[in-house]
Amino acid sequence: MHLVIFFILASAVDKSCQLTQSDCGATFRRPEYTDISVECGTSSIGLAILICPVVYTGYNESLLILNHMFDDPACKGTLDESVTPPVARFTFPINSSSACGSNFRTTSAPGTGIFSDFSNIQTVNISGVIHSHDPTTGIVTYNAELKYFYSCAYPLEYLVNNTRVDVSSSSISVKDNNGSFISTLSMNIFSDFQYTQPLVIPPLGLELRTKVFVQVKASNLTDQYHVLLDRCYASVSPHPTNSTFFNLFVPCSKHQMTNISENGDGQHARFSFPAFRFLEQQNETISTYYLHCVTRLCEKSTCDDFKQCTRRRRRAVDSDPLKEGMTESTTLSSSKPIVTKVESVLGSKEEDLSSSESDSSVGLGIAVGILTVAVLVVVAMAAVLYRRRRH
């Protein structure tokens, strides 16, 4: 049995040892800290290890074991010679039940910047190790042990569609990469409570009190997380740094006209509100504003905890939430603005007509008064001349 295993391992080593120094170039050397790269995707994590240093040390891709997963074919590395230099690739989903033995650790910390009103911002860290399996039998070996550590850190709080996520990776190599769940999130508005008919806004805007249905949805995201809206608001500017805003709902409180139908129960959240207008736009024909939502991705088991007001500080409705952190992020909002009618222009025309009629009446009165005074002056002068002639 040991002899059979030895021949199997030997044939595997021979296959990778077909790589020559000319194939590897400068990477045919001892392992270094930069030999691993980590791609932190939205639904999976990808690892790439330079294979030439591995061959140089006496191993190949079949002898690199991910988190001691010897028997799972989905966790094996594959040789990719289509790139230069060649690499061994590992790919596994972001799911605690099938992540090839990766460790999932969720931490919490007080929010900062635009999330400073939230006392509990979560981050999930996914980590593990790829180590070499030495096929040598006997008492001693001349092969160095290889270990490649990796980790991806995902914040679970986002300003839709505005976020930054910092991702770190480590192994023999230590390298920072960027990855994000934000690309899986989208905001759309609908005209019906089934959320099937996109809302079409007329050129002259929506009628006031028209129902607007909003959905924030996650697509192509691991089913380990649900979508939870922490706060949604409207602003007169697509980049609401210094613009007027109106809170539709905030943690532990919502406006009386806002209805939240689904939140934190699946991979989409839904709410609705009647169309309104901003008073500062009352002199304009239409009122235009944009929607923004602070969105949390929470694990299924913890979403209910974040719905409890005792776990977060309540946000003051009249405070400005955007005084910090805006220089670090780029705001992208609803795909199109909400446009509502302000006032009928007929009333303004009637007022102008009434005003012009009033001005005409005043002018006529002045003219009649001047004519009367002139007649009286003429009559007086005629009376004086008549008396002089008599004398």
pLDDT digits (tens, 9 = 90+) for 96-108: 888 999 999 988 8
Residue 161 or residue 182, greater confidence: 182
Q: Read off the pLDDT band of 263 (50, 70, 90).
A: very high
Q: 263: buried, middle or exposed (CB in 10 Å: 19+, 13-18, 0-12)?
A: buried
Tell me which residue range forms the domain holding 310: 184-341
353, part of any domain: no
Indicate whether 87 and 142 sit together in one domain.
yes
pLDDT of residue 386: 66
Distance of CA 104 to the CA centre of its chain: 23
Amino acid at position 107, single letter: T
CA–CA gap between residue 151 and residue 143 (Å, rounded):
26
Residue 189, both tokens: 């508005």
130, part of any domain: yes
Question: Which H or E run includes 263?
Answer: none
Distance of CA 119 to the CA centre of its chain: 20
> Edge to edge, what strands does the sheet with 268-274 contain?
185-190, 211-218, 268-274, 259-262
Residue 390, both tokens: 């008599």
Backbone torsions φ then ψ of 386, nearest 5 degrees: -65, -45
What tens digit of pLDDT does each residue of 302-314 get? 888 888 775 444 4
Indicate whether 217 and 292 sit together in one domain.
yes
Please choose, from the candidates 169, 137, 156, the residue with its C-alpha nearest in 3D space to the C-alpha of residue 264.
156
Whether the pTM exceeds 0.85: the reply is no
Distance of CA 145 to the CA centre of its chain: 42
Q: Read off the pLDDT band of 91 (50, 70, 90).
A: very high
Which among 341, 362, 382 is the end of a domain?
341
Indicate whether 158 and 211 sit together in one domain.
no
CATH number at residue 36: 2.60.40.3210
Contacts of 229 (CB under 8 A, 6+ apart): 216, 249, 260, 263, 264, 269, 271, 293, 294, 295, 296
pLDDT of residue 51 exceeding 90, the answer is: yes
pLDDT of residue 360: 54
Mean pLDDT, the chain, as a whole number?
76
Indicate whether 201 and 335 sit together in one domain.
yes
Average pLDDT over residues 151-157: 89
In residues, how long is the chain? 391
Indicate whether 259 and 271 sit together in one domain.
yes
Strands (E), 133-206: 147-155, 157-160, 167-170, 174-177, 185-190
152, part of any domain: yes
Indicate whether 197 and 164 sit together in one domain.
no
pLDDT of residue 387 exceeding 80, the answer is: no
Which among 124, 150, 180 is the end of a domain?
180
CATH number at residue 333: 2.60.40.4100
Are the CB atoms for 52 and 17 separated by under 8 Å? no
The stretches of the chain forming alpha helices (DSSP H) are 2-16, 21-24, 51-57, 303-306, 345-390
Indicate whether 87 and 148 sit together in one domain.
yes
DSSP state of 17: T
What tens digit of pLDDT does each residue of 124-133 get? 899 999 999 9
251, part of any domain: yes
Average pLDDT over residues 249-273: 91
131, part of any domain: yes
Indicate whether 105 and 201 sit together in one domain.
no
Are the CB atoms for 222 and 95 separated by under 8 Å? yes
259, part of any domain: yes
Q: 252: buried, middle or exposed (CB in 10 Å: 19+, 13-18, 0-12)?
A: middle
Residue 314 or residue 225, greater confidence: 225
Please choose, from the candidates 119, 139, 44, the residue with its C-alpha nearest in 3D space to the C-alpha of residue 296.
119
Looking at the chain, the whole-number percentage of residues with pLDDT higher than 90 is: 27
Indicate whether 68 and 191 sit together in one domain.
no
* Number of domains the chain contains: 2
Indicate whether 94 and 225 sit together in one domain.
no
pLDDT of residue 371 exceeding 80, the answer is: no
CA–CA gap between residue 12 and residue 374 (Å, rounded):
123
Average pLDDT over residues 163-182: 41
Which among 129, 153, 180 is the end of a domain?
180
Please choose, from the candidates 335, 342, 49, 302, the residue with its C-alpha nearest in 3D space to the C-alpha of residue 200.
335
What tens digit of pLDDT does each residue of 281-326 get? 877 888 888 888 988 888 888 888 888 775 444 443 344 443 332 2
Indicate whether 32 and 137 sit together in one domain.
yes
360, part of any domain: no
Backbone torsions φ then ψ of 325, nearest 5 degrees: 85, -10
Indicate whether 269 and 315 sit together in one domain.
yes
335, part of any domain: yes
Which residue in the block uniquely carries the two structure tokens 């602003």? 235
Distance of CA 148 to the CA centre of its chain: 32
